[in-house]
Structure formats: structure tokens, C-alpha cells
């Protein structure tokens, strides 16, 4: 996809995100990774720029841009630091937009502006230790008056979020609820140690008769969760593209500067072919992401297109970050260069917001219909 296809507002937002990423995020990303530091000041600054609510309507405190503009922001942030990218992605796609789509007018007026302006952070609490891809197996329960009891696992932004969209059985069907940090019986029980994304928060949560308020109709939890994931997967695909682009940038730059046998290693056919394939597949992934984003923006079905974008982009990121290390040779395996961080960060894009196996299932069922379900 060519950036010449973007309109003036989209280019302006992308350029704003790129400048901020290059000046404020990239120079500090390695330090955050090593220290496992959550950079709160960055999200406050992004809020001041309108980038914590890029696609939230202006009347609700956001920038009022379209969904593709938001996807462009995620790619640029993730190119600098994937941990920052996923924090903003989950905050927006999985945290803020479900409230905007399913909340009452009073809930939207009260909850969305502080989130869109970056004063508060949002999280999405669906996964449990025994219910990841099988979300219907969740054991967290809610009483008739909305008191939630149970645990959630691997919740992005969990240690820092102010507003949580929590899913619980109610009693026989899942419902969505809003819980605020500080509510009685709510605890963050553990901060996860991860392979990558070390500047992001991934936490386990516990609820002990925690008061909440319903989000959307009771019993509509799975519909809300699945529609949220449909859009969220596009954001994670954009994150994967950003990581892969960062890897290409460092590999191509190194190939121009590193000399062997009297010339730059970019002069060798094997390196040229590797980088050409890398760039081509990244562009293909970006095209799938933009297509899915435009369908969502238009209000058209995008479940399959989002799954295709995430499936392909995450595979591209995981594969080509490894090949970027190969181009850098021994330097790629050290922390002197960021290629090894990109490699560690890329893997999870094949796992969260639906594993690659789940994306293939979504695509196959749409393609084959009942024939695919007959094999279950």
C-alpha cells in the first residue's frame, strides 16, 4: 500500500505519530525493555496530542479521526516500541471503543472522555487460566446486582488501568461489566514476566464480590467480546507491521554500512534477496491491515479480513525479525542493536487477541461453512 493513498488528515496524523515515536519513544525503548519499565509519562504526552483517542469522536474527547488513522498511529508507535503500541491498542480498541459502542449515554459521557484524553487507562479482562481461546469456559461469576467474583489472567494494562471491561457468567450467559480500579474486592495479584513487550503491563486480577456496572444488555457478553476482538485484531496486526518495519529498517541500514570482502554486504545477492522479500511481505501485510481497517470504518463486515490481517502480519513479523538478526550476524544476537528486541516482541502477535490457530479457524469457517464445523 502506498502512503500516497492517504488523505491529508491521515498523513498529518501519521507524521505526528512518527515524529513522537522517533523523538520520544525510540531513544528510550531499550532502557524500558531492560528495566521492565512502564512509561506512564509517554501515555500522558500521547493523550495531550490526541493519540490516546485517535478514532474517538471529538464530542467524547477524542481526536475524531477515522479508524485507519488510528491504525497508522499504532504502526508508528510499535515501530519505535511494541510495548507502547500494545498499551495504546488495548486501551483504545479493547478498552475505550467497547464502552463507546455499548455504553449508555451516561456511561459514555462519564467514562470515555478521560480515556480518550489519556487521563485514564483502560483494560479488557476476558482471559482466565482455564479459558483463553475457549472464552465460553470462563468461571468468573456475577450476581444479579453485578457483584463479580473470579480471576482474570494476562490482562494488558492490568497493573495501571483505571477502567476495566470485565466479562463474567450471569448466571448462564456471559455479560460485560465495567469495574473501576479501587473498587471493593478488586486486586492486582501478579505482574507477569514476559519474553518481550517489557515496557507494557500484563497482570493477573482477582475480584471478590467486586461491585460493577453492566455494559450493554445482560447476556450480551460474548457478542460484545467477539465484536471487540474483531476490531482489536486489526490493531494487533498493525503492531506486527510496525515491528517488522523496524526490523527491516535496521537490517537495511546495516546492509548499507557493514563491509565484508571489500564492499557493503548489501552488494551480495543473498542479502539483497532477503531484504527484497522482507519488504515485499511487509507491504502485503500492511495492505491487508489497511483493507480491514477501511472495512471497519465503513461499518462493513470485517471479521474474516481482520483475521487474515492478523494471521499474515504476525507471521511476517515473527519470521522477518529473525531474518533481520541473520543479516546483522553476531551483532544481531546482542543488545547493542535492537533486532533481538524486535524478535522477542514479535512472537506474541501470533498469540494474543486470538492465536494464529483461531484466526485460521475463523477464516476456514467463513470459507467452508458447515463443512468446517463437521470436523470439530
For the annotated catalytic residues, the residue numbers are: 353
Q: Would you say 75 and 238 are in contact if contact means Cβ atoms under 8 Å apart?
A: yes
- Determine the Cα–Cα distance for residues 27 and 25; give it in Å rounded to an integer: 6
Angle at which helices 82-89 and 40-48 cross, to 10°: 60
> Phi-psi bin for 168: left (phi > 0), alpha (psi -120 to 50), beta?
beta
Q: Which residue is listed with cell 496530542? A: 49
Contact in structure between 285 and 311 (CB atoms under 8 Å): no
d(CA 115, CA 179): 14
| Rounded CA separation 36/201 (Å) | 9
- Cβ atoms within 10 Å of 34's Cβ, excluding its own: 12
Secondary-structure breakdown of the chain: helix, strand, coil percentages, each rounded to the nearest 5: 60, 15, 25
Measured between its terminal Cα atoms, the distance across the chain in Å is 37
- What are 142's strand-pairing partners? 148
Q: How far apart are CA 366 and CA 101, in angstroms?
A: 25
* 3-state DSSP assignment of residue 123: strand
Rounded to whole angstroms, the Cα distance separating 48 from 40 reads: 13
* Sign of CA pseudo-dihedral 323, 327, 330, 331: negative
For residue 179, give the H/E element and its range: strand 174-180
Amino acid at each position: 500500500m502506498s502512503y500516497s493513498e492517504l488523505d491529508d488528515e491521515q498523513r498529518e496524523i501519521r507524521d505526528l505519530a512518527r515524529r513522537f515515536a522517533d523523538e520520544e519513544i525510540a531513544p528510550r525503548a531499550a532502557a524500558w525493555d531492560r528495566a521492565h519499565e512502564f512509561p506512564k509519562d509517554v501515555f500522558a504526552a500521547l493523550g495531550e496530542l490526541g493519540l490516546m483517542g485517535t478514532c474517538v469522536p471529538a464530542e467524547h474527547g477524542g481526536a475524531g479521526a477515522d479508524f485507519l488513522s488510528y491504525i497508522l498511529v499504532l504502526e508508528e508507535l510499535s515501530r519505535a516500541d511494541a510495548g507502547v503500541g500494545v498499551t495504546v491498542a488495548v486501551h483504545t480498541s479493547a478498552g475505550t471503543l467497547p464502552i463507546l459502542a455499548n455504553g449508555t449515554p451516561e456511561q459514555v459521557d462519564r467514562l470515555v472522555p478521560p480515556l480518550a484524553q489519556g487521563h485514564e487507562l483502560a483494560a479488557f479482562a476476558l482471559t482466565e487460566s482455564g479459558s483463553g481461546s475457549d472464552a465460553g469456559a470462563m468461571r468468573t461469576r456475577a450476581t444479579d446486582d453485578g457483584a463479580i467474583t473470579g480471576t482474570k489472567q494476562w490482562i494488558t494494562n492490568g497493573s495501571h488501568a483505571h477502567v476495566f471491561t470485565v466479562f463474567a457468567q450471569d448466571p448462564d450467559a456471559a455479560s460485560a461489566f465495567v469495574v473501576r480500579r479501587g473498587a471493593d474486592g478488586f486486586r492486582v495479584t501478579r505482574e507477569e514476566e514476559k519474553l518481550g513487550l517489557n515496557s507494557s503491563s500484563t497482570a493477573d486480577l482477582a475480584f471478590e464480590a467486586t461491585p460493577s456496572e453492566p455494559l450493554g444488555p445482560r447476556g450480551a457478553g460474548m457478542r460484545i467480546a467477539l465484536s471487540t476482538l474483531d476490531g482489536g485484531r486489526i490493531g494487533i496486526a498493525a503492531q506486527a507491521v510496525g515491528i517488522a518495519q523496524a526490523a527491516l529498517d535496521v537490517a537495511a541500514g546495516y546492509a548499507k554500512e557493514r563491509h565484508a570482502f571489500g564492499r557493503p554486504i548489501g552488494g551480495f545477492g543473498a542479502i539483497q534477496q532477503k531484504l527484497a522479500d522482507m519488504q515485499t511481505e511487509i507491504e502485503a501485510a500492511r495492505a491487508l491491515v489497511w483493507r480491514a481497517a477501511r472495512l471497519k470504518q465503513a461499518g462493513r463486515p470485517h471479521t474474516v479480513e481482520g483475521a487474515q490481517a492478523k494471521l499474515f502480519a504476525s507471521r511476517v513479523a515473527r519470521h522477518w525479525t529473525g531474518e533481520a538478526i541473520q543479516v546483522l550476524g553476531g551483532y544481531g544476537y546482542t543488545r547493542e542493536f535492537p533486532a533481538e528486541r524486535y524478535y522477542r516482541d514479535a512472537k506474541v502477535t501470533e498469540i494474543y487477541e486470538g492465536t494464529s490457530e483461531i484466526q485460521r479457524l475463523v477464516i476456514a469457517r467463513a470459507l467452508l461453512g458447515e463443512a468446517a464445523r463437521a470436523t470439530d
